[in-house]
Structure 1
Amino acid sequence: MRRSLKTRETLETHVKVDLNLDGSGRSNVNTGLGFLDHMLGSLARHGLMDLEVEARGDLEVDDHHTVEDVALTLGEALREALGDGKGIRRMAHAMVPMDESLATVALDLGGRPYTVLELDFRGTRIGDVSSDNIGHFFESFAASAAINIHASVRGSNDHHKAEALFKALAMALRDAVRVEHDMIPSTKGRL
């Protein structure tokens, strides 16, 4: 099984992530942020990965540290669960509609962290999460997983846009981690 259990403890947060890339879409998520829990549950379901996340953060300050540290820990878990990446497809993309919104995510698990985002949220908050932290989640996740993500979304409802983004990320990840052969998918010989 391609599975990883990672923890992160700082003065601001305590995060535990248990990730199984070969799961069935089950999740148990409790970050103290209802909207983030909803997005991570969607990521697990549509990515067909099993995901458990337990986080305690300084929510009395704001949601930034919790969102960031959950993303960093999830990225570390993904990197560890992939191992050497032998046989994976490596690159994938997904386009997901949600009502009036349309999100596209393209990614490469090749070990080169980079993020390009085209997000245009209208409001400052989506539920209990700052809309700025949606992009920050993607950036932090890509950095710690050492992956390249290009993500864009258009629409008028911020909730729909964010949810379409997470679903597109899930579907692209599901495709990129799929084992198709027995080689390391890189001319360098390693990811």
Structure 2
Amino acid sequence: MSSTRTGRIERVTGETKVLVELDLAGGPVQVATGVGFYDHMLHQLGKHGGFGLHVAVEGDLYIDAHHTLEDTAIALGEAFGQALGEKAGVRRFADALVPLDEVLVQAVVDLSGRPYCVHDEPLGLAPTIGPLYPTSMTRHIWESFAHHARITLHVSVLRAARPGAQPDAHHVVEAQFKAVARALRDAVRIEGTEVPSTKGVL
């Protein structure tokens, strides 16, 4: 990976062993968490964010996927914050509207240094996607990522299905990851040399 704007986090607990390497300048995307749908979502995050991303996880999947999903999101957030450094010259604020067939999602980010997450998603999604991914974890993933990246993140599912139809959970979650990726891609873009804050720090 590049020597600039990179983050590398190793997180080892009694439940998981996580390695995340992130390069904001781009690069290959390789993800292996043991949870197939989560791999697919993190690949979307790297690809549509324009990031180089390497994620390798060993988790206690014999219990369930909770610890694996959560600890990966924590490490990803920490790597993102590390890669941002002092944030000199970044655009800071960005938003994205992303459709995925019938679904429409908006993501808005502020590289504020103040952890905050707002997540609006429809009720009644299928409880799991694939054999291991609980849809109830999507909010917790964004909360964990935003907190440890020290950013403000709003993710809103504006449209989940055609009127009267059952939402497709795969589409609803995937559109969120793509929207967040696009918003982050714009927010980290270098536009100048100064930290974009009247405080002088973020």
Q: TM-score normalised to the size of structure 2?
A: 0.92
CA deviation map 1:27-48 (0-9, x unaligned): 1100000000000001010000
The within-5 A match list for 1:96-175 is 96-120=98-122, 122-127=125-130, 128-153=132-157, 154-155=159-160, 156-175=167-186
SS at match of 1:170: helix
SS at match of 2:11: strand
CA RMSD for the aligned pairs? 0.8
For 1:80, the equivalent position in structure 2 comes to 82
Give the one of 173, 191, 194 matched to 1:180: 191
Taking the aligned partners of 1:125 and 1:139, their CA distance within structure 2 comes to: 19
Q: Measure how far apart 1:181 and its partner are.
A: 0.6
Structure 2 stretches of 5 or more lacking a match?
Answer: 161-166
Taking the aligned partners of 1:146 and 1:2, their CA distance within structure 2 comes to: 16
Percentage of pairs with the same residue:
49
For 1:189, the equivalent position in structure 2 comes to 200
Give the one of 23, 44, 47 matched to 1:20: 23
Taking the aligned partners of 1:189 and 1:91, their CA distance within structure 2 comes to: 16
SS at match of 2:153: strand
Q: Measure how far apart 1:85 and its partner are.
A: 0.1
Number of equivalences:
190
Taking the aligned partners of 1:91 and 1:56, their CA distance within structure 2 comes to: 34
Taking the aligned partners of 1:70 and 1:186, their CA distance within structure 2 comes to: 30
Q: Measure how far apart 1:152 and its partner are.
A: 1.0
